[in-house]
Structures are given as structure tokens and as C-alpha cells.
């Protein structure tokens, strides 16, 4: 596979991974009950564990998920713009923008997840970061030369 085809493959991979981040983010806003059930299952092994909390807590969790989802959707939009402009054009700044924004998200989010005992979220974060780390590692040398 030549370098241009190789970069196109990894670029497409990043676009799909980023679309996944955006879909996940917007699902936090549009489907709060379903998302709460998913996090209940992931964190407490029971679909309605979070819904058993007092109503004020459930409402706050819904708000928190909605705010996080909105931020994720906005972040994903910015990354998509970077992917379709600077990254696609082979500009090193595009690669750095994606890589740095992922690191700045992953490290504190995963640290707070582990610190508060919610290792399951750290695992979910790691799945997401690996989806991005593979193509970023594969394209590192191409962008280093640019």
C-alpha cells in the first residue's frame, strides 16, 4: 500500500472513530433514560440502579450526562473539522490537534474514574483512546516529516 493510500485508510478510520464519539455524545442528550440504564449496567451490573437513586440525584445525573454529551458532540465536531481540513491536507498541526485533545481528555477523565473507584469508565475510556491511538501511531512518521 503506498503512502497516500495508507494515510487515506487511517484518515477514514479516524473519521469513523470520531463519528462514534459524536454519536455517543449526542445519545447522552437525546436518550437519557437509555444511557442511564447503560451506565447502571456498566457500573452496578443492574439496569435500573441509577433510577433507584432519589429523584434529585437522577435529575442531576441526567443533567451531567447531557452536559457531557453536548461537550463530546462539540469536541467531536471540532475534531471532525480538523480531520477534514488540516489532517486531510497532511498538516502536522492537524495530527497534533487530534492527538493532544485526546490526551488532554483521556488522562484526567481516566484518573478521576480510577480515583473515585469507577474503573469501568476507565476501561471504556481506554477502548475509545485505542481506537484513535492506532491510526495516530500509524501516521506519526508521515506527519513528523510534514
Cβ atoms 48, 88 nearer than 8 A:
no
Give per-residue pLDDT as tens, 58-83.
999 999 999 999 999 999 999 999 99
pLDDT at 146 over 80: no
- The verdict on pTM exceeding 0.85 is yes
pLDDT at site 26: 97
Mean predicted confidence (pLDDT) in 51-61: 93
pLDDT at 145 over 70: no
pLDDT at 1 over 70: no
DSSP H stretches of helix in 31-118: 32-44, 55-82, 92-115
Amino acid at each position: 500500500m503506498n503512502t497516500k493510500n495508507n494515510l487515506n485508510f487511517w484518515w477514514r478510520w479516524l473519521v469513523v472513530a470520531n463519528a462514534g464519539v459524536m454519536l455517543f455524545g449526542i445519545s447522552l442528550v437525546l436518550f437519557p433514560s437509555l444511557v442511564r440504564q447503560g451506565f447502571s449496567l456498566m457500573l452496578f451490573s443492574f439496569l435500573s440502579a441509577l433510577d433507584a437513586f432519589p429523584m434529585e440525584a437522577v435529575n442531576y445525573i441526567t443533567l451531567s450526562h447531557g452536559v457531557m454529551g453536548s461537550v463530546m458532540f462539540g469536541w467531536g465536531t471540532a475534531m471532525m473539522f480538523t480531520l477534514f481540513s488540516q489532517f486531510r491536507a497532511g498538516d502536522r498541526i492537524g495530527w497534533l490537534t487530534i492527538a493532544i485533545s485526546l490526551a488532554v481528555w483521556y488522562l484526567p477523565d481516566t484518573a478521576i474514574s480510577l480515583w473515585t473507584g469507577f474503573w469501568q469508565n476507565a476501561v471504556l475510556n481506554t477502548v475509545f483512546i485505542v481506537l484513535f491511538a492506532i491510526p495516530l501511531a500509524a501516521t506519526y512518521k508521515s506527519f513528523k516529516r510534514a
